[in-house]
Structure 1
Amino acid sequence: MIREMTKADFEAFWPTFFHIIQAQETYAFDPNMTLEEGYQLWCTLPDKTFVFVESGDVLASYYIKPNASGPSRHLCNCGYMVSEKARGQGIARKLCKHSQTVALELGYKAMQFNSVVSTNEAAVKLWETLGFSIIDTIPNAYKHARFGYVDSYVMYKWLDTEVR
């Protein structure tokens, strides 16, 4: 089930969130942030944050927020996290599809991922199968904990089928 995230949900999700930022393989977040800083970043600043819950366990989450303002306010940005025990089960795909529907409901016309780490091959492949394109490569944009400096991709998808 996908629903809006509560503070209690985030607290339950915190071990996954913290593990992901500590790994320094996918997110350019401070690996030493506190639970409260994480909550502000993931749940308060975005327009909305959602959670995927199964059998009472918080397994994944995503946020949706503006990618820009003014004349580019129609572009949104999302971030997704899935717990290690729930990976490979299609949850990220479900969250991404859900986020695209929510984006349109919120008035967004396009979605852009600003920094998909090139070594995160599963995510790159998934986003491409869901219609996203790599529109730019940022050389050495991410200092990966295991691989050192690696490229990041800017990925983009136009969502609104009625306006182009």
Structure 2
Amino acid sequence: MNIIIREYQDKDIPSMIDVWNEVVEDGNAFPQIESLTYEQAKNFFASQTYTGVAVDGDEILGLYILHPNNIGRCGHISNASYAVKKGCRGRSIGEKLVRDSIKQGRKHGFKILQFNAVVSTNTAAIRLYEKIGFHKLGIIPEGFMMKDGSYIDIILYYIEL
């Protein structure tokens, strides 16, 4: 397996949609409820500061988006979201994506990478973020609605770039 992280290309979009929509449909990590169509995805991924993909040959294994967390006087703070293809999880792809997003965040002039809504049951992500050196800001009780309609806590994290 020779995984590399690179900037996405238009030819990647159909596979990126599949990976992104898997996470949306699982309903336990992303705030989005609706799946992306091709046109929505094309615009969404192009509108990010940076969109990276994890590839092994021609296969898309995961992706991330990086963008400002806010505007103006808070525009130096970035935000990112990550998705790894089912069947590929647990192979350090997420770690490669996060580390690349930190590198790209610095390259694009951001000073901080902040996560606004890490779902408290996403223990793999929590372990990864803490391993890399993210700091926990706090917990928002019942800040995330699960697919079944129940609410669960979210955790905010940040790392200085």
| Distance in structure 2 (CA, Å) of the matches to 1:117 and 1:96 | 16
Question: What is the TM-score of this pair, normalised by structure 2?
Answer: 0.91
Equivalent pairs counted in the alignment come to: 158
- Root-mean-square deviation (CA, aligned residues, Å) is 1.5
In 1, the alpha carbon distance for the partners of 2:76 and 2:47 equals 17
Percentage identity across paired residues of the two chains: 29
Q: What's the TM-score, normalizing by structure 1?
A: 0.90
2:50–2:104 contact (8 Å) kept in structure 1? no
Within 5 A, what are the aligned runs for 1:47-58?
Answer: 47-58=49-60
User: What SS does the corresponding residue of 2:48 show, helix, strand or coil?
Assistant: coil
Q: Determine the structure 2 residue equivalent to 1:82.
A: 84
Gap change, CA 1:66 and 1:126, over 3 Å in 2: same
Q: Which runs of 5+ in 2 are unaligned?
A: none
Letter matched to residue 25 of structure 1: N
Greater shift in the superposed pair: 13-22 or 85-94: 13-22
CA offset at residue 134 of structure 1? 1.5
Pick from 47, 71, 74 the counterpart of residue 69 of structure 1.
71
1:24 pairs with 2:56: no
Instruction: Say which SS state the counterpart of residue 58 (structure 1) adopts.
Output: strand
Alpha carbons 2:17, 2:37 under 8 Å: kept: no
Q: Which runs of 5+ in 1 are unaligned?
A: 160-164
> Displacement of 1:38 after TM fit?
3.1
- SS at structure 2 position matched to 1:86: coil
- Following TM superposition, the consecutive aligned residue runs of length 4 or more in structure 1 with deviations greater than 6 angstroms are none
